Amino acid sequence: MPKKILTFLNKEFNGINEAALLLGGFAFVSQLLGLIRDRMLASAIGPGRVLDIYYAAFRVPDFLYISIASLASITVLLPFLIDRMKQGDDKTKAREFLNNVFSAYMLFMMVISFLVAILMPYIAHYIAPGFNNTELASLVLTSRIMLLSPIFIGLSNLIGSVTQLFRNFFIFSLSPIFYNVGILTGIIFLYPIFGVYGLALGVIIGAILHLLIQVPIVVDHKLFPKFIPKINWKEIWNVMKLSLPRTLALSCNSLALLVIIAMASTLKAGSISLFTFSFNLQSVPVGIIGISYSVAAFPVLARSFSLKEMDKFVEHIIGAAKQIIFWSLPVIALIIVLRAQIVRVILGSGTFSWADTRLTAAASALFIISLVTQSLVLLFVRGYYAAARTKTPLIVNMFSSFTVIIFTYTFLHLFKSSPHILNILESILRVKDVPGTIMLALPVAYTMGSLINFFLIWILFKRDFLKKGESRLYKTFIESLFGAVTMGLFSYISLNFFSNIFNLNTFLGIFLQGLFSGFIGIFFGVLVLLLFKNKELLDIWKTLSHKFSNKNIIAPEQGEL
């Protein structure tokens, strides 16, 4: 039986739906561990300066990882490896290429990490201008410890190109799971001894596990890289030319988040923690829906474009976009309606108070509004990459990240200078009596930037590729919207009904209230979609009802720390 399971998990899969469902399944497991991690942090430490320091300390290593380590991404390295494997049966060319990339990567990362570690006392003032001197000193040491994590995870992604080359998809998909296991180890065993530094050490343990899980596969194929003194910089430049636009785009996102965290540090203690909790919650459906479908579509899109089969290219884009809309709109409705129950069940224990729950739930509702647009942007960007046109998404992303920064300053100033505007938002989200609601300016700013990002890339993508094909999305949007509204309405009615049945002062009572309300909403929403004879629902059912066939998919590497 174990052999059969591993055989299935290492198969190649046919069709975007099949690949996306499999990727989404692994993403769900990884995200579930991430939610357990957040629950333990919320319970053991709670929103406050200690957790603020921990999350703020992530920003520089994360920026470093995205800006440098992602230059050696799997998406870029895999074609180079495939080409070199064709040049000889003894893997010599592939081994030389890996040694070259590994040497350049380690040299560059070690030097940059060392310089950043020295400069951290100066950088810290810009990361968290609201921290006092003691908090800044703690931030500096925590960040210095965490600077090891981009080195290990970047190296893990590098050798991950080998596991992907030989289609060891299962092993590669375990890496982010083991990463979270390491962080959980830090929370459970090291935090009680070393405090926030124990949390940082847990991150390093997770990064090492992220790497080690793949090492046996790479060693078995005799392709584990080694350092060489003479680096072929021309070959490195060829790799960087392909990865640079994507890396710059990701760096802009990371920079925008860095600015948001810096602004959050000037607010009430715990604002960074609450922002991060809510951001992580909205990242779950983005990872399961947006990333899964965009990654699953990428090989098919690249093949169609390379063969100049533009009709198929458009067909695949439209098909994946329909599925993203089909899944995203109902999720938005359910999360907005059930936000308090979701947050309370996931995070509500120990030191995480009811006020923390309500504020995190409100921030999550603001974030989730942009779920469908964030997910579609990921797909359209992959479409541009498949067409080898990286300039457009880079410019759009840079502009959108800049607008997030502008919106952050604007909404913070607006909410401070015009409290009545904040009062309106508090009333809508039912957090009028909760302290610290000024931090809601941060998810508002991020969501506004995401919406602008979508509309810009949607207009340009239509111009460059779709022509008249986009009209087919409107039918899916309308049907999914009706289904989503129905889900939200019946879930809301059910919440009020079950509030009189279950004891909402207990974990079990809140869990059952949210669970049954969600199920009832989903039932009536699916009923509406069946009445519409919704094609996307039928396609999903068809995909699940037959055996998966064999076609290649490429799993995404870790997007951030």
Chain centre to alpha carbon of residue 303? 26
The contacts of residue 241 (CB under 8 Å, 6+ apart) are none
The answer to whether 340 and 358 are in contact (CB under 8 A) is: yes
Query: Helix, strand, or coil here: 48?
Result: coil
The one-letter amino acid at 2: P
Rounded to whole angstroms, how far apart are CA atoms 12 and 64?
A: 33
DSSP SS3 for 340: helix
Give yes or no for a contact between 379 and 321, defined as CB atoms under 8 angstroms apart.
Answer: yes
**SS (HEC) of 378-403:** HHHHHHHHHCCCCHHHHHHHHHHHHH
CB atoms inside a 10 Å sphere around CB 10: 13
Q: How many helices (H) and strands (E) does the chain have?
A: 24, 0
Chain center to CA of 373: 14
DSSP 188-229: IIIHHHHTHHHHHHHHHHHHHHHHHTTHHHHHHTT------S
Q: What value does the CA radius of gyration of the chain take, rounded to a whole number of Å?
A: 23
Report residue 266: phi and psi, to 5°. Answer: -85, -5
C-beta separation of 369 from 280 below 8 A = no
Contact between 73 and 560 (Cβ < 8 Å)? no
- Which pLDDT value is given to residue 29? 79
pTM: 0.90
**Biggest alpha carbon–alpha carbon distance for the chain:** 73
Q: Do 436 and 415 contact (CB within 8 A), yes or no? A: no
CA distance 364 to 409: 20
Establish how many alpha carbons lie within 13 A of residue 131's alpha carbon, considering only the half-sphere containing its beta carbon.
28
H-type alpha helices, 166-306: 169-185, 191-194, 196-212, 215-220, 233-264, 271-285, 292-306
Quick check: 509 and 502 in contact, CB under 8 A?
yes
| Distances 318 to 21, 97, 332, 369, 529 between C-alpha atoms, Å | 17, 37, 21, 22, 19
Among residues 345, 276, 350, the alpha carbon closest in space to that of 44 is found at: 350
Per-residue pLDDT of the chain (561 residues; tens, 9 = 90+): 334 433 433 444 446 777 777 777 777 877 888 899 999 999 989 999 999 999 999 999 999 888 877 666 766 777 778 778 776 666 888 889 999 999 998 898 999 999 999 999 999 999 999 999 999 999 999 999 999 999 999 899 888 888 877 766 677 778 888 998 999 999 999 999 999 999 999 999 999 999 999 899 888 888 889 999 889 888 888 888 878 877 888 888 899 999 999 999 999 999 999 999 999 999 999 988 988 888 788 778 877 887 888 888 888 899 999 999 999 999 999 999 999 999 999 998 888 999 999 999 999 999 999 999 999 999 999 898 888 788 899 899 999 999 999 999 999 999 999 999 999 999 999 999 999 999 999 999 999 999 999 999 999 999 998 765 455 788 899 999 999 999 999 999 999 999 999 998 888 999 999 999 999 999 999 999 999 988 888 888 877 766 554 445 556 666 677
What does the block give as tokens for 183? Answer: 């962080």
Using the 8-state DSSP alphabet, how is residue 557 labeled?
A: P
Q: Which of 333, 251, 252 is nearest to 285 (CA)?
A: 333
Contact status, residue 211 vs residue 156, Cβ threshold 8 Å: yes
DSSP secondary structure letter of residue 439: G
pLDDT for 546: 62
The pLDDT of residue 187 is: 94
| Amino acid at position 33, single letter | L
Q: Two tokens at 308?
A: 């100049």
Helix (H, G, I), strand (E, B) or coil at 91: coil
Q: Give me the pLDDT at residue 1, please.
A: 38
Report the candidate in 316, 300, 448, 293 with the shortest Cα–Cα distance to residue 376: 293
Q: Can you tell me the distance from the alpha carbon of 506 to that of 193, in angstroms, rounded to the nearest whole number?
A: 31
- Terminal C-alpha separation, the chain: 35
Phi-psi region of 308 (alpha: psi -120 to 50; beta: other; left: phi over 0): left
Q: In 433-503, which ranges are continuous DSSP H helix? A: 441-461, 471-498
Contact 275, 443 (CB under 8 A): yes
Q: Which two tokens stand for residue 541?
A: 């059912």
Cα 518 from Cα 523, distance rounded (Å): 9
User: Which position has the token pair 């998909």?
Assistant: 173
